[in-house]
């Protein structure tokens, strides 16, 4: 008889959720992670009395009452509402695209005027394509122009997207933005979901609650002693890179990664918002996160005299870097399907999460997926 029912490789949200569910079913688990701490990309570090999202901002949002009630049964969530600001060469615009944005862009004050301005610019883009004999958008730029028009595309989409992907918009596939949310109301709430917030006290509390009573080992790489780790459990739940699990036998999948420049600033309030996107191409970073605004509201921010910001730089992933976002173009998706065919044949290995499934995941769908899984 083996030591554990499950070996879970990776202590991020998917792995921690699986450990929680397995423990509730009376199963034994060992969770291992190569990082020095648990929580994967959700890990927060408390500095200057502020919970810093070490691996990038994470905002929990869902319309599922089941999911929301579940996470709140573990740790209470606050009222944080994601309302990012776009900075284009010093001009500020509200996101997502709504009546505030259109007023800031064109001075339009009614939905009718804003809609007419968008339709005018969309018609110009469609006329140009028709003149060139183009029936369908061939790339992201053409897709965006036909959805939202030139002004918003050039100021709020083009530069940010090219920094995010490291490629020109004319070289990116159209499907990346098949639709853009356009709201004819004055509403800066980025998400349409019924519920959203941040765990009070940071995400470490959520991970600790999920892993309570589960054996864990950090600074432990599954691949350094694969035979040993495979031998101690009846089943493996694997949340790492699926191509690495299969020794890259079909080739390596591509990823984008993010580099963070963190700075402590001697002011209580640096930018007045948690998230400010820098949408011009010349600014090298994509956005600035001011962490205290995730958990401190109104005059609360003045209670701590310092603040902490992180500048985010998007770059191509290379060995030794943390893989963040899968590059879901046709080439990489086809390569992933080769690995998935092998994974589907596994009897005692479950693959889950953004790296193992080579797809971008928000947090709530991961919680929902694991709650519904048969372990």
User: Which amino acids are annotated catalytic?
Assistant: 179, 183, 256, 287, 312, 360, 362
DSSP classification of residue 323: P
| Alpha carbon separation from 351 to 238, 245, 272, 325 (Å, rounded) | 5, 10, 40, 17
* Residue ranges in the chain assigned as alpha helix (H): 13-24, 65-74, 99-106, 111-131, 140-148, 150-152, 158-165, 203-211, 226-231, 242-245, 330-344, 363-372
Q: Cα separation of 46 and 205, whole Å?
A: 12
- As separate numbers, helices (DSSP H) first and strands (DSSP E) second, the chain gives 12, 16
Dihedral through CA 219, CA 220, CA 224, CA 227, nearest 10?
170
CB proximity list for 110: less than 8 A, separation 6 or greater: none
| Number of Cβ within a 10 Å radius of residue 53 | 23
Residue 139, by phi and psi: left (phi above 0), alpha (psi -120 to 50) or beta?
beta
């Amino acid at each position: 008889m083996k030591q554990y029912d499950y070996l879970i490789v990776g202590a991020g949200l998917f792995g921690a959720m699986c450990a929680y569910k397995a423990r509730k079913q009376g199963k034994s688990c060992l969770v291992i992670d190569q990082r020095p701490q648990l929580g994967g990309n959700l890990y927060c570090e408390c500095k200057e009395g502020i919970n810093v999202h070490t691996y990038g901002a994470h905002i929990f949002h869902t319309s599922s009452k089941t999911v929301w009630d579940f996470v709140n049964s573990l740790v209470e969530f606050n009222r944080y509402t994601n309302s990012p600001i776009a900075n284009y060469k010093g001009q500020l615009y509200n996101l997502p695209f709504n009546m505030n944005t259109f007023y800031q862009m064109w001075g339009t004050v009614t939905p009718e005027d804003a809609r007419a301005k968008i339709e005018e610019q969309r018609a110009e883009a469609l006329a140009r394509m028709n003149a060139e004999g183009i029936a369908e958008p061939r790339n992201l730029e053409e897709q965006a122009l036909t959805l939202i028009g030139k002004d918003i595309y050039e100021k709020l989409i083009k530069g940010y997207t090219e920094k995010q992907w490291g490629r020109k918009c004319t070289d990116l596939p159209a499907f990346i933005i098949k639709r853009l949310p356009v709201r004819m109301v004055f509403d800066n709430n980025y998400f349409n979901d019924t519920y959203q917030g941040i765990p009070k006290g940071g995400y470490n509390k959520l991970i600790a609650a999920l892993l309570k009573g589960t054996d864990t080992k950090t600074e432990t790489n599954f691949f350094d002693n694969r035979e040993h780790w495979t031998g101690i459990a009846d089943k493996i739940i694997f949340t790492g890179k699926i191509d690495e699990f299969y020794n890259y036998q079909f080739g390596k999948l591509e990823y984008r990664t993010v580099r963070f420049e963190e700075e402590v600033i001697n002011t209580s309030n640096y930018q007045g918002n948690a998230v400010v996107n820098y949408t011009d191409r010349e600014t090298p970073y994509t956005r600035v996160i001011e962490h205290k605004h995730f958990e401190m509201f109104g005059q609360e921010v003045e209670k701590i005299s310092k603040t902490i910001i992180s500048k985010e730089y998007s770059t191509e992933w290379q060995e030794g870097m943390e893989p963040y976002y899968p590059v879901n173009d046709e080439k990489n998706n086809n390569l992933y399907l080769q690995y998935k065919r092998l994974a589907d044949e596994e009897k005692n290995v479950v693959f889950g999460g953004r790296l193992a499934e080579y797809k971008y995941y928000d947090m709530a769908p991961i919680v929902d997926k694991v709650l519904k899984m048969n372990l």
